[in-house]
Amino acid sequence: MLNTSENNLVLVVDFGGQYNQLIARRVREAGIYSEIVPYYRALEEVKKRKPQAVIFTGGPSSTLEKDAPTIETEIFHLGIPILGICYGAQLMTLALGGEIEKPVKREYGKTSITYQSSALFDEIETNNICWMSHTDQIKTVPDGFQITAYTPDCPVAAMENSEQRMYAVQFHPEVEHTVDGYKIIRNFLYKGCHLSPDWSSDSFIEEKVAQIKKAVGDKKVICALSGGVDSSVAAVLVHKAVGEQLHCIFVDHGLLRKNEGDDVERIFRQQFNINLIRVNAEERFLAKLAGVSDPEKKRKIIGEEFIRVFEEEAAKLGSIDYLVQGTIYPDVIESGSGTNTAVIKSHHNVGGLPENMALKVLEPLRELFKDEVRQVGLQLGIEENLIYRHPFPGPGLGIRVLGEVTKERCDIVREADAIYREELDKAGLSRKIWQAFAALPDVRTVGVMGDERTYSYMIALRAITSTDGMTAEYYPIPYDVLDIISRRIVNEVKGVNRVVYDITSKPPATIEFE
């Protein structure tokens, strides 16, 4: 991970709360570097890494349950400032001798709260709104603690032992629904822990470039460049460190969005002067996909063929030592991984490299959340339209053309998608939406165009909001914008006579159609 010897470090102890990543992001937004560690490894990590503060997250369990997640009480006696949130607050209470109870009335959602004198609530309105989500609550605070906030139904909405620098809140300050919640987190960091901000994209770039230079030396590096945000930022960052030693292989499988291949080539060759090998393999991929309609078979074919192309091009470069991977911090959290580099024989982004190509992995973005990756990209001078591009799946249009994938059908969905995204840009909606795209269902519908009967394709539009793609809500695009999009697609894309808008959330649906 990042060398934090010259940086403040806050460890966020994960008890399974749905907002654990959001808490870590809020700390970083305050200019303090943070990482997430599982509760069962927390004491070990705290002793080893000596953080300046610790935050306990919420969680779905009850502290009153027999097998509920817990933590060694030793962590409370190391002299490190601790903030407990929701479940974390209750766990702190029990560990230090207080009591937890099942309340008569549970609290969920926006709740009126009254704050009392505390460094945590400095410069925040006394009568305020917070976000509650709990079935248990604190009945009796531990010795040395005082109550610092309450609600009509929760007598201990916050407590603290300022001398020991231990703070606890029953509500969730990390979510936007808690008014001035970000100030509460900053007050904990700045006034409770006396930390000063020292984490930024500028300092990250400087430190990471130095690390890459030291690790790589004069060795050769390759990158499987997709044109997406993560791989693009990783490539530019590594190029800043090693220059001509980096070779990027861009496999254009013909399943990209409109003009995307040309944009990638222009940006990386002309703007950054990176060694870029573009392989135009559309015919090769379409030939492999001919007659295949099963989604999983299509994914496997595209992934396997990608590897064959990548292998052929990499072999032409001779001896290679390092592979750049666009892994970001949410990937690390979900996989439970914790190493910085490793010798590999397969690679999930490219589907499995050949066994005789054992490479060391460079993962320069593995400490960053998506929003931080974007900030680093902007600092490196990458164009905004690439940095804020919506996520795009590896199989590309191969899973947005439902059923058999053909050149004609790819062109139809490519043109419809371009119109859709163009109108979202015009309406100022693109950055409010996490992902938007057009898909081509494997159906034709009857229509009337120019007084004649048509039997043409239907385009399905999808737009969702999300933070990590694990869950998602559809975005309510205004009807007038949808009307413009629908009219343009039907009028300008040959072979389409109907447009529908998918308003299903995830779950029960997935984001992609296949």
Question: Which residues are CB-contacts of 400 (< 8 A; sequence separation ≥ 6)?
Answer: 393, 413, 417, 437, 438, 439, 440, 512, 513, 514
Please state the φ and ψ torsions of residue 166, each to the nearest 5 degrees. -115, 130
**Catalytically annotated residue among 86, 130, 154, 193:** 86
* CA separation for the pair 427, 225 (Å, rounded): 31
Cα(first)–Cα(last) distance of the chain, in Å?
A: 35
| Distance (Å, whole) CA 503 – CA 13 | 35
d(CA 411, CA 447): 21
Could you give the residue ranges of the DSSP H alpha helices within 62-197?
Answer: 87-95, 181-187
Alpha-carbon gap, residue 165 to 149, rounded angstroms: 17
- Does residue 172 carry a catalytic annotation? yes
The answer to whether residues 199 and 33 touch, using CB atoms and an 8 Å cutoff, is yes
Quick check: 70 and 39 in contact, CB under 8 A?
yes
Handedness of CA 384, 253, 399, 443 (dihedral sign): positive
Amino acid code (one letter) for 413? V
**Secondary structure class of 386 (helix, strand, coil):** helix
Q: From 344, 378, 397, select the one nearest 224 (Cα to Cα).
A: 344
Query: For the chain, how many residues are written?
Result: 514
- Cα separation, 87 vs 84, in Å, equals 7
b/e map of 255-282 (b: 16 or more CB within 10 Å)? Answer: bbbbebbebbeebbeeebebbbbbeebe
Question: Tokens 């904990």, residue?
Answer: 188
Of the candidates 65, 137, 66, the residue with the CA atom closest to the CA atom of residue 100: 137
- What's the token pair of residue 63? 């502290």
User: Is 134 an active-site residue?
Assistant: no
Catalytic residue among 35, 174, 260, 372: 174
Catalytic residue among 35, 107, 134, 172: 172
**Active site (annotated) includes residue 355:** no
What does the angle CA 32 – CA 38 – CA 44 come to, to the nearest 5 degrees? 85
For residues 45, 48, 52, 53, the Cα torsion angle rounded to the nearest 10 degrees is: 20
DSSP-assigned beta bridge partners for residue 55:
12, 83
The C-alpha R_g of the chain, in whole angstroms, comes to 26
Could you list the active site residues?
Answer: 86, 172, 174
